[in-house]
Each structure stands twice: as C-alpha cells, then as structure tokens.
Amino acid sequence: MILLFSGGIDSFVAWHYLNKPKTVYFNLQSRYSLREISVVKKLIPTTIIDNSLNLSDREHGDNAYIPFRNLLLACQAVKYSNRIIIAGLLDDMVSDKNKEIFAEFSVLLTKLEGRTILIQSPFWYMTKEQVVRWYKENVGDDEILKTTSCYSTGLDNYCGACPSCFRKWIALRSNGYDLDFWNEEMLDSYYDRAMKGKYVTARNVAITREIDAYRSRY
C-alpha cells in the first residue's frame, strides 16, 4: 500500500496504525506546502516528495480550498500502488472524503487503469478524537503535537485561530493535551453549530464539552 501523508494528525496516526507503510507527500504548491514539507520530512523522513501535481491555481478562500483535491490525489497515487490510503474520518465533512465516494473512486480508477485499485481509509468508524486517543494509548509520545494542518501563512505548525487548528485543538484537548485557542468568535460559531447538531453526535459532544471546560477556567 501507499499512504498519502500530509503532515497532519490523521495521516500521521494512520502511519502508526497501519504499521508504518510507505508514504508519499504530494506537493500541491499551495500557500502552506513549504510548512507541510518541513513537517513531513521531520516526522517521516523516508516520505517520497512528489512534485508532479501543481494545484496552486485552484486554491480559493481563506482556507486555500482545492475542489476535488482527494480525487486528484488518488488519480496521481495509482502510479505508486494498487492500494491507496487517504486518512478520512467518521466526522469529516468533505464531499470527496467519505467511505461511499472512496468506493466510487475505486470503481472508476479500476476501470480506467484496467487493474484493481482500492482507495481506502482505516478510520471510517473513528472520529478525530478517537484517532488521537488510539495514538496516545498505543504510541504514547508527543510527536503528534508536531503535526500540522494549519491554514495560516506563517511557518508555525499551530496558529490556534483557524478552523483546522480548532479541530486539532478539540481532538487534542479531549485527550489531555493542554493547548490554547485564541479565536473567541470562532469558538462561539462552532459552539452554536454543535448545539444545533450540525456534525455527527460525537463531534458535537466533544466541541461543546471542550469549549465549556476551556472557558470555565476563566
């Protein structure tokens, strides 16, 4: 198999969960690629850095969103293996990153390639909080704190103010890692959505619990 490693929590834990398979990082030349490459090289130095897919002209919005990113990555990854791992989660809310769409990717790429292609995730029944818990119980070091998925343009792994850092903050705090989050307006926004049941139940519960606990300190 080949694991697509982004430098983030999900793919880093997947590497341990799957007993350290071969990894590849696709340098999409996004606004945060340089930071990701630095983290990737530190966490898994053997990772292949593939520069064949430049999607910088497809980024838009504050989060540098790239439409159909996972489909495009899967299409490129077939050159490395018939079994491609992209670490999707139960509580992901991305149109091209869920169990059903990965199954459709597999059918499409199998037809196009003339060989059996599988696009999979080991975490369809686990939330981000549960993935971090597995890591803490089975690996136990603090390397997970070195991961990055931050949307800021700086070089720090964690800005503590963007949506991606918020999700990381919730998952880590739920497992006893003490981090701060400084965007009060975003805390209010996520809290409101969780109270209205906008996410899967486990994610709603984690958001409200951790924000309540965090604010109770003051």
Instruction: Kindly report the CATH class assigned to 2-120.
Output: alpha beta
**E strand residue ranges, 21-140:** 22-26, 48-50, 83-85, 118-120
Residue-by-residue pLDDT tens, the chain, 218 positions? 999 999 999 999 999 999 999 999 999 998 889 999 999 999 999 999 999 999 888 877 766 678 899 999 999 999 999 999 999 999 999 899 999 999 999 999 999 999 999 999 999 999 999 999 999 999 999 999 999 998 887 667 899 999 999 999 999 999 999 899 999 999 999 999 999 999 999 999 999 999 999 999 86
Distance (Å, rounded) from C-alpha 170 to C-alpha 210?
7
Contact 127, 91 (CB under 8 A): yes
What's the pLDDT at 64? 67
Residue 60 CB neighbour total at 10 angstroms: 10
Distance (Å, rounded) from C-alpha 170 to C-alpha 80?
34
* Upper half-sphere CA count for residue 111 (Cβ side, 13 Å): 5
What's the pLDDT at 62? 67
| pTM of the complete model | 0.94
Residue 94 CB neighbour total at 10 angstroms: 12
What's the pLDDT at 155? 64
Contact 138, 16 (CB under 8 A): yes
What's the pLDDT at 102? 98
Show me where the domains of the chain are located.
Answer: 2-120, 145-215
Q: How buried is 84 (Cβ within 10 angstroms: 0-12 exposed, 13-18 middle, 19+ buried)?
A: buried
What's the pLDDT at 201? 95
